[in-house]
Amino acid sequence: MKYLILMTSPEGVWEGLSESEQQDVIARHNAFTAKLRAEGRYVTSYRAHDEARSVRKDAAGNVTTTSEPFTGAQERVGGFYVIEAESLDEATRWGEVSRFTAGTNEVRPLYD
């Protein structure tokens, strides 16, 4: 089954890292991706830009668009992985070992 690992961090975490710390995090992501590939678990992954827009539709059908991610959210989406795992527990373990900075990894099963 496929699982989404959605990676978020509090605003400013990435910017608060030195250039060498940022390079270390990138290297750790590369190693994590290589491990997923080696085990046949990797499906895809992307790093997200900071720029985002949120489009919301309320129950009355009114649509609003804001030029910011998740209005009022304390955390920003940094990227995601889609992996293959046998269970939510296994996918969660992958989510645990892929947390390289302060923040949250949300793990969700995906419908095929």
Helix then strand then coil, % of the chain, to nearest 5:
30, 35, 35
Six-digit token string for 89:
């527990």
77: containing domain: 2-109
Question: CA–CA separation, 16 vs 11, rounded Å?
Answer: 9
Which of 30, 24, 17, 5 has the alpha carbon at shortest distance from 106? Answer: 5
pLDDT, tens digit (0-9, with 9 covering 90-100), for 36-60? 999 999 999 999 988 888 888 999 9
Whether residue 34 is predicted with pLDDT greater than 70 in this model: the reply is yes
Whole-model pTM?
0.88
- Here the CATH number for the domain that contains residue 11 is 3.30.70.1060
Distance CA 72, CA 70 (A): 6
Total domains in the chain come to: 1
pLDDT band at 75 (very low <50, low <70, confident <90, very high): confident
pLDDT for position 104 = 94
